[in-house]
Structure formats: C-alpha cells, structure tokens
C-alpha cells in the first residue's frame, strides 16, 4: 500500500470483477445483446480536450491519490484518453425494472469501470468513468454525459456523504472539450451542450439488476458466481456462500437498504428514478439523475418530469418502492436458496429497520429521547401531515426549530411570537390559515419537550447535529452549472466547500441556506428535471 500520494496514472489497479467473473473480451463497442456474460471488456473513447473542473480532495487523500494539474496525464486517465498499465476496463451487464416494467438487458451504457484502488485503510474501491463513451450496452445512445448532469452528480455524491447518507462518491469532474446533443425534456428541443465525465467511486457498482438479468435469461451459473463474488468481496463476515448464507445476505441487503431510505426521508431527499437497476447491492445511494430536495414539504413531489403521470418515485413513495425493488431482488436470487419462503423474513427486517431508524432519526431532529413510542409516533405522524398542509420548507423548518426550541423552553411566555417567527422563515405559504394547524402542533410539541430531562442547550445541540442548514437545492446546483458553462468555477467551488460542513452555521454563506427564490419555482433544472443526461 502506498504511503505517499501518487498520481492516478501511476497507481496500481486491481481487477477482481474482471478476473473472477465471466467476461466478453472482444472489445467490440457495437450495441447488442450480450448473453452469457457478467461484463464486456471495453475501453473508453477519447475526448478532444480534457480539463479538470473539480476534485474531491478528501476522497483523493483516502485513496492515496494526489491532485492532478488541470491538464496532463492524470486528467487524461480521468477523461478516458489514457489507461494505466494495470487497468482492465469493463462495462457491466445488467437488467432492471424501469418504472415498474421489466426492461430487459440494460447495462453500463455510458459508464466504464477502470478497476479498483486500495485505499489508505486497506479497503478496495472501484473507479468508474461516467460519460466515457459507447459500450455494448449503450443501445441507441452515445455513451456520453453533459456538464449539467455530471456536475450535479459530482456535487450531490459528495454532499450526501457529508450529510452522513450512505452513498457512492465522486473523485473528479472533467470537461471533455466536446459537445453532446441532448433533448433535456424529451420535447423536441435538442441542443448541443458541453460534455463532461465524472469519476465515480464505490466498493462496487453491482446493483439489483445485475442479478435480475441472469434470472430472466436462465443463466444460473452466472447468477451463483456473481452472488458468491459479492458475498466474498463485500460481505465476508457472513461466511462462505451457501443456501443459508444467501438468506442471511439478502437480509443484510434489506437492512442496509432500509437505513439508506431512512436517511433519504430524514433529510428530504428525493432520488427521482428508483428503478431496480439504480439500486446498489450495498445499500448505497447510486446514480444521481433527476434528484431533488423537498422545499415545500410534499409527499407527492418528484423532481422527475418522466414520472409526473404516476409519481411512482415521489418522496412519500420511496419506502414502498424500495420494498418492491427488494422483492424483485429476492425473486432474482431465489434459485440459490432451498425454499423461496426463506427469503420472506428479510422483507420484515426491511420494514422493521426502516420504521425504527426513521423513528430514531425523527426523535433526534426534534430533540427528543425515547419515552413513549406510541405517543411519539403519533406526534411525528401529525407533524408530517401538518407540514404538507403548510407549504413549509423541510430543511429550513427543522433548522430554525433547532434554534427556536431553547428560546421557548427558557421563556414559554414568548412561545407564540417565536413560533410565528419560525413559520415566517420557513413557509412558502401566504395564507395564515394554512399555518394555524402547524402552530397547534408546535404547542403540542412544546408540552412533549417539557418532559425531557436535558438542558435546553443540550437539546439544541442534539437538534443542530441532526438538522442540516445546507443541502444541495436544485436551484443552487443550476447556478453552479450555468456559471461553469460560462467558464466560471467559483460558484461550484464555493458550493463544494460549504456542503462539506452542512451542519455548521457558516454565517458568511447564509444565502445558500435561503428559501428557494420565486424565479426558481418553475425554471428548468431548478424545480424539474428529466432522466436526460
């Protein structure tokens, strides 16, 4: 293991996925069905003028990598123009359910994995270039990504990490110097946009769909080989693969997925496209496309224009959709166990873990400790209903609540004015009647707060650590995109630094914690997005 940082083109890569699983080695990039294989060997397609736009310093330090110059050999690797000698690049084959419908073979259509690096703590991390050109799984697409979506993925991967949400990471954002034609909303208005590539990082990018494709095509040997690979590499604590271990493995996947979803719901994150091919086998947030954060609290809100008809992936539906996706994974791995019914208890693990984790997170957000589970659940449920009626910004409501609580505990006689001030800071509504129910809930909450033994200062500290001040609102990301497209990286760099400390006050950046401005309410990229890259 390296003791001093090294440049990525000199790093030594491992290639466990390629070395241990069945791959097609022809290097043929033509779109086609690829039966019988886990992956296809394929090299990235070179771009015209790669240039580094953003770099995750902390992640690079963890991986033992030094920051590259804006142009040069390292950036050529991060753009796909150069390969290190030890790399064996590949695109993975998988299938999936998209919006509830089986879509057949999908696969890495614009992502190419370079191999794995050993981090400073001895763990291995796969490096994957998203937007690196066509693969056999590109179907009718070009395998490229635009700056708009790439910047959003880079920023959000890192922002979620610093929020404490289980997630894949992002190492670099590189401009390609090429233009990519995209129709942002699939409405016939295609236009050229600047291209970019994100280097994504995770222990593995295997997803539910990798297993589904083998069940669909009857490739039982490949199904078992992939399951055994994932267990040995990423779940070694479960023991050597066996029918009993497969059951325990599925239970652990359910548990991790529940924790991830609880985190999403806790911070108001909406993924936007929870297809089974976008679900990590490690319970990590993966594939940042048309995501968003709740601004007015609305369980039916989705940022994804493609989903406006059914709102399948709306905020309030995410827990149910994750369960449905886990059921599809369970079906996919069912040939590996003695009796498919043995997998059912794992779904209960998901339900119970999600319920318990969400409850604990909500208690922390409210500065409460567990006293009476039933009464507290009723209080939390009433809050969620009332927030939806009040057009309250979720992030601002909880952050301002963290500051208001100690004031009201110390001077209850000022409670009425303090609650009104809170609502003025957090609500998008102009109708006072809509806020009345929330004021009544706050009075009920205050009575519950008085049962706590901790000091007002201790309660506040608990709340400030659970309620972020800064999240990656879509309008902030859009401002960074527009500036970057004009050659100004200062907005992106500032956002990156602020989002590394989402729970800190950082008063010099207060405007980045403001309510969504009126101009952003309907603006493309600020309120709504599509699955377009």
Contact 305/185 with Cβ under 8 angstroms? yes
DSSP 8-class letter at 457: H
44, 42, 37: which is closest to 23 by C-alpha? 37
Which is the catalytic residue, given 277, 287, 298, 376?
A: 277
User: What are the b/e assignments for 478-510, b being 16+ CB within 10 Å?
Assistant: bbbbebbeeeebebbeebbebbbebbeebeebe
3-state SS assignment for residue 431: coil
CA separation for the pair 400, 317 (Å, rounded): 27
- Block residue for tokens 């690079």: 60
172, 128, 133, 166: which is closest to 150 by C-alpha? 172
42, 46, 16: which is closest to 30 by C-alpha? 42
The distance between the two most distant Cα atoms of the chain, rounded to a whole number of Å, is 76
CA separation for the pair 127, 111 (Å, rounded): 10
- Residue 277 designated active-site: yes
| Residue 519 backbone phi and psi in degrees, to 5 | -65, -20
CB count within 10 Å of CB 248 equals 16
CA separation for the pair 524, 104 (Å, rounded): 31
CB count within 10 Å of CB 154 equals 30
CA separation for the pair 532, 367 (Å, rounded): 40
244, 205, 201: which is closest to 226 by C-alpha? 205
CA 331 to chain centre: 25
Take residue 289 and report the two structure tokens written for it. 């496309």
Structural Rg of the chain based on CA atoms: 24
511, 450, 441: which is closest to 476 by C-alpha? 511
Contact 81/47 with Cβ under 8 angstroms? yes
Active-site annotation, residues: 277
């Amino acid at each position: 293991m390296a003791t001093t940082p090294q440049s990525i083109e000199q790093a030594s890569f491992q290639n466990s996925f390629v070395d241990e699983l069945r791959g097609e080695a022809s290097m043929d990039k033509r779109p086609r069905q690829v039966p019988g294989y886990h992956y296809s060997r394929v090299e990235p397609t070179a771009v015209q003028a790669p240039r580094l736009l953003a770099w995750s310093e902390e992640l690079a330090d963890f991986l033992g990598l030094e920051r590259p110059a804006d142009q040069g050999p390292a950036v050529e690797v991060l753009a796909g123009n150069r390969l290190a000698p030890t790399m064996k690049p590949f695109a993975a084959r998988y299938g999936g359910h998209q919006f509830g419908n089986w879509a057949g073979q999908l696969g890495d259509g614009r992502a190419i994995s370079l191999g794995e690096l050993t981090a400073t703590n001895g763990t291995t991390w796969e490096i994957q270039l998203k937007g690196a050109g066509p693969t056999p799984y590109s179907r009718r697409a070009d395998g490229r990504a635009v700056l708009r979506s790439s910047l959003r993925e880079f920023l959000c991967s890192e922002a979620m990490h610093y929020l404490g949400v289980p997630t894949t990471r992002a190492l670099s954002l590189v401009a390609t110097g090429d233009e990519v034609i995209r129709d942002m909303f699939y409405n016939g208005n295609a236009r050229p946009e600047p291209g970019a590539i994100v280097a994504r990082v995770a222990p593995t990018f295997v997803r539910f769909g990798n297993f589904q494709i083998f069940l669909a095509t009857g490739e039982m040997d490949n199904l078992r080989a992939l399951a055994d690979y994932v267990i040995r590499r990423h779940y070694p604590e479960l023991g050597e693969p066996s029918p009993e271990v497969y059951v325990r493995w599925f239970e652990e996947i359910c548990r991790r997925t529940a924790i991830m979803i609880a985190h999403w719901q806790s911070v108001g994150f909406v993924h936007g496209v929870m297809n089974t091919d976008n679900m990590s086998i490690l319970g990590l947030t993966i594939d940042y496309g048309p995501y968003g954060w709740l601004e007015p609290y609305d369980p039916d809100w989705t940022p994804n224009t493609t989903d406006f008809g059914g709102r399948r992936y709306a905020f309030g539906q995410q827990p149910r959709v994750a369960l449905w996706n886990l059921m599809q994974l369970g079906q996919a791995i069912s040939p590996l166990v003695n009796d498919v019914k043995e997998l059912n208890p794992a779904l209960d693990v998901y339900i119970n873990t999600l319920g318990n984790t969400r409850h604990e997170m909500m208690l922390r957000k409210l500065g409460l400790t567990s006293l009476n589970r039933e009464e507290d659940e009723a209080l939390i449920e009433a809050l969620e209903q009332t927030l939806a009626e009040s057009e309250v910004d979720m992030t601002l409501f909880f952050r301002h609540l963290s500051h208001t609580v100690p004031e009201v505990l110390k001077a209850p006689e000022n409670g009425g004015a303090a609650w009104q001030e809170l609502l003025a800071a957090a609500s998008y509504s102009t109708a006072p009647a809509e806020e009345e129910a929330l004021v009544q809930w706050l009075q009920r909450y205050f009575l519950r707060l008085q049962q706590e033994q901790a000091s007002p200062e201790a309660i506040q500290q608990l709340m400030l650590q659970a309620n972020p001040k800064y999240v990656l609102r879509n309008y902030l990301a859009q401002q960074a995109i527009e500036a970057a497209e004009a050659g100004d990286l200062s907005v992106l760099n500032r956002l990156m630094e602020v989002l590394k400390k989402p729970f800190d006050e950082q008063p010099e950046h207060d405007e980045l914690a403001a309510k969504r401005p009126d101009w952003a309410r309907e603006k493309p990229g600020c309120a709504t997005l599509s699955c377009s890259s």
